[in-house]
Structure 1
């Protein structure tokens, strides 16, 4: 049986993929729901982002726009928060929550938050692993070169490690966002509940991605042992 057509894929990977698809659906539906709930303060997500940055002394961090929907991110290389077209000028609870989350990432870098340093250290190896691991494993299986298979599996494990380290980074950014929105009086308690749900749904996509990689890694290890 060709190496990637096996019952391990059905038993391990397919359920994880289904969970990941559900997580993606959940974040999209939750965002759409709370994108209809307007903040009573009537301030845009970009304005709120600037306020959070200034409050934390991050006057050097710029806020710019970026094309697309939910393509929001903080770029530490240029020290810029980029808010998507659907978020930047919006006054909804959903958009403000997303923008505050990205501001949370900027604060993490500014304060030297350790998990984000660890994630950056793992990132180069994880990028190599995501590119080379599967081809190396395939070649190793094809030519019965077990050391090559083992090396490929080790590289793939770095991808999982990166995703696991990403979890506390994302959860912490959301925690910082909710705390700032609450303490700064930016959102009311009712509006804050909506922002929490949006960020909670988004966080679950990272959990689902890590679960999928863990299932794939376990599958590869079991296939390797079976071939031995």
Structure 2
């Protein structure tokens, strides 16, 4: 019988709670510090441009992208995309997020090993996150342990992606804070609020990793790899 409502779902509850806490913290931090303008009045786009120049990176474009908190660095096209509020914003939250994305560009430029590894497994992780459950359930329907095993195997790439993402994100935030301080783009008093914004954002990646790991454990239990359940 296919366990659509399986008691192993309880394994996900702590991760779900952590995800809710993380989302609440990042929203609260962003909302609070988006109301605090930086003393020097520089925008997120201007800051990103100056930081890239400071790091002698001249082949990364800066673009504005639609949406809220959709900021990211695209290593394939070497484009740093900032949402409107970050692109035009002069708040401490805007500067922290813009600097964080520049941190990813610096990682890419330097060949940071963990970022390279994450980019390498991304296609497999994307496939794994979408195909794992269908393969697992199809294997259970057909009574094929091999098919279920394939589903779990491909999901491991999604888990690995989340695990690797943690040091990548924390390293980008560390680089961001260092660049802001080294370039004197913010005051000493402004560094602490920016760090709070970045730490709150990092917690969302911790939650995502916890969710992926617990989901893997759940799939292993469902498939029988960690002991079969009585139907």
In which range does the TM-score fall when normalised by the shorter chain? over 0.9
The 8 Å contact of residues 51 and 99 in structure 2, kept in 1 or not, is answered as yes
What displacement does 1:59 show?
Answer: 1.6
1:17 aligned to 2:8? no
Counterpart-to-counterpart distance in 2, 1:200 and 1:129: 28
Q: Which runs of 4+ in 1 moved over 4 A?
A: none
Superposed, which structure 2 residues align to 1:31-50 within 5 Å? 31-50=30-49
Matched residue, 1:3: 3
Cross-structure match for 2:219: 220
CA apart distance, 1:107: 0.5
Aligned runs of 1:149-228 on 2, under 5 Å?
149-225=148-224, 226=228
Distance 2:76 2:126 in 1: 17
How far did 1:227 drift? 5.1
Query: Secondary structure of 1:36's partner?
Result: coil
Q: For residues 133-171 of structure 1, what are the alpha-carbon distances to aligned partners after superposition, in whole Å with 9 as ceiling and x for unaligned?
A: 110001011121111111101111110001101111111
Contact 1:3 1:141 in 2 (8 A): no
Q: How far does residue 4 in structure 1 lie from its aligned partner after superposition?
A: 3.2
Taking the aligned partners of 2:34 and 2:138, their CA distance within structure 1 comes to: 48
Does the 8 A contact of 1:68 with 1:86 survive in 2? no
Separation (CA, whole Å) in 1 of partners of 2:145 and 2:19: 31
Give the Cα–Cα distance (whole angstroms) in 2 for the partners of residues 224 and 67 of structure 1. 41
Correspondence for 2:74: 75
**1:2 CA drift (Å):** 3.5
Q: Deviations over 1:73-111 (max 9, x none)?
A: 111222111110111111100000000000000001100
Structure 2, unaligned runs of 5 or more: none
Aligned to 1:113: 112
**Aligned partner of residue 222 in structure 1, secondary structure:** helix
- List runs of 5+ in structure 1 lacking aligned partners: none
| C-alpha distance in structure 2 between counterparts of 1:219 and 1:75, whole Å | 33
For 1:128 and 1:80, locate their aligned partners in 2 and report how far apart those are by CA, in whole Å: 24
Match of 2:52 in 1: 53
Alignment correspondent of 1:148: 147
